[in-house]
Amino acid sequence: MAVDRNRRIFVQGLAAGGVMGGLGIWPNSATANSTTELTGRHFQLQIGETPVNFTGKARTAVTVNHSLPAPTLRWRQGDEVTVRVENRLPMQSAYGHSTSIHWHGILLPANMDGVPGMSFNGIAHGEAYLYRFTLKQSGTYWYHSHSGFQEQAGLYGALIVDSAEPEPFSYDRDYVVLLSDWTDLDPKALFARLKKLSSHDNYAKRTVADFIRDAQQRGLDATLSDRRMWGEMRMTPTDISDVNASTYTYLMNGTTSLGNWTGLFKPGEKIRLRLINGSAMTYFDLRIPGLKMTVVAADGQNVHPVTVDELRIAVAETYDVIVEPSGQEAFTLFAQDMGRTGYVSGTLAVREGLRAPLPPLDPRPILSMADMGHGGAGHAGHGAAAAATAMPGMDHSGHAMAGMDHGAHSSSNASDMQTHPASESGNPLVDMQTMMPSHRLDDPGMGLRDNGRRVLSYADLHSQFKDPDGRDPSRTIELHLTGHMEKFAWSFDGIPFAGAEPLKLNYGERVRVVLVNDTMMTHPIHLHGLWSDLEDGNGNFMVRKHTVDMPPGTKRSYRVRADALGRWAYHCHLLYHMESGMMREVRVEEGS
């Protein structure tokens, strides 16, 4: 099976793909306007279907103005913009006959947010909707559909809001680097497959050879203990992502690696790269071998500059980085997926047609019990030795760890054990609970620790402004990210969206949201309409974001100022997790 998978990845690399005209075209480089940029205050967007070919097979995508990705929209802070969005999808479209656009991270009135069922009714077949709002912010953002699986099928694009004030950093050229994932499968069929066999893409399960190697390195008892715990949980430590390069073709600005998106530079210039993860399910680890990246903004908000070799960009996050290429004619932009099953690459070069060497994929990461918040020596342990001491005295006789009696632990650290909402107890949609979660803000993430490169972590991010509110939160809302791997069921507090009551905030109040990840998956959590002001472990303001990454076994908090009336979506930005239930409604209402 692994041979077939590797061959498939190779074939995907042969087909550069792109939006087709006639017999199809090869995608152009950035210097040849591969993605249209629209500027001004008034915009006309048409959503329809367009044939594409990324793998050697023609498929139908959902596009904006016949473009995948959608045109880059360039706005200016302080302007009022109007965007007329027309639905030209076929009445019998496989992607549904209604559509929408959500302006991710943009502050606007609730009825302009573009979430069917909350903001408005959606845009029906043959109809149009006029979005109108004033831009309160600047920075790098993106936009995408919030209707069904249209985002997976191609309806996403970059969004740039130029600052009304001089920016605190300089640059000579400015490029968008929009990362995404494409599948030839009908997204509904992929969702159905995940519900039936969530581990379909996990070809890297541990083998007898792995057992022998681990036993030689760590000892037989520790290795047996590790395998026993994972077996009793009916989980596998190689299950890093639900969908990977066995199914996906990864794209950079709408082209595969063979298409070689290229951004030109002259030696000595400073280049601003606006990194956007517009994928449905894929975390990317991005680096440019031979170049340092200075991070100057996160989720559109300026941060104190920090220089790194590599960064992980969660689904829906954006980072702005400055690079200064010199000393060679070409540099590779290399974005590998978190599970190390595939990658997409592009090039920075002094002229078109150049490439630089590709680095190999890093070794695939292996989850440890410490990674999942079950004790052990911080997040340093990676394997049987760490796992053997991860959960002293824990009873693994049950189905997994749901509904565990935390009072049964006699450890001296029992007071540090995480409590859980009653709705998780005995819940058939909850297959595990974290016991000792931690903030781990200084952790670059599984697969990135001690790799010889300077990797960005959340602890490096500090906004270039103080806490914008200044008040202490008046109350705390704690939510647990929950799921069941085999059933592919995802939720907050074990309650899927369909059965959950809205979270109600009083207009003007300041609340603290605490998230606890009770699953073995990583979740990017996005709150519409309101900023998420991430705190450090001591409750101090760190950085303003619109999407907060939650690795397994973490507990992170942020403050929210309820300064926008209306109904807002709050969800995991892994598309299939949201669709299966990891979503809530947040209502900001006038206080009584």
- SS3 assignment for 426-465: CCCCCCCCCCCCECCCCCCCCCCCCCCCCECCHHHCCECC
What secondary structure, in 3-state letters, does 152-164 show? CCCCEEEEEEECC
Is residue 328 situated within a structural domain?
Answer: no
Is residue 337 situated within a structural domain?
Answer: no
User: Domain holding 567: CATH number?
Assistant: 2.60.40.420
Of 114, 145, 166, the residue that ends a domain is: 166
Is residue 199 situated within a structural domain?
Answer: no
Q: Which residues contact 412 (CB under 8 A, 6 or more apart)?
A: none
Of 166, 195, 227, the residue that ends a domain is: 166
Of 148, 166, 184, the residue that ends a domain is: 166
pLDDT at 528: 98
Q: Which residues contact 142 (CB under 8 A, 6 or more apart)?
A: 104, 105, 156, 157, 158, 159, 178, 276, 278, 316, 318
Residue from 314, 311, 321 nearest 526 by CA: 314
Residue holding tokens 């087909």? 15
The span from the CA of 120 to the CA of 65, in Å, is: 23
Is residue 2 situated within a structural domain?
Answer: no
pLDDT at 101: 98
Give the domain extent around 447. Answer: 366-402+417-592
Is residue 212 situated within a structural domain?
Answer: no
Is residue 9 situated within a structural domain?
Answer: no
Mean pLDDT per 10-residue run, the chain (592 residues)?
A: 37 53 35 72 98 95 97 98 97 93 98 96 97 98 98 98 97 98 96 82 50 58 53 60 92 97 97 98 98 98 98 98 97 97 97 96 83 51 31 30 32 66 94 92 94 97 95 97 94 96 97 96 97 96 98 96 97 98 97 64
Is residue 124 situated within a structural domain?
Answer: yes
Residue from 327, 285, 328, 291 nearest 307 by CA: 291
Number of domains forming the structure of the chain: 2
Read off the tokens for 115: 């979430």
Is residue 98 situated within a structural domain?
Answer: yes
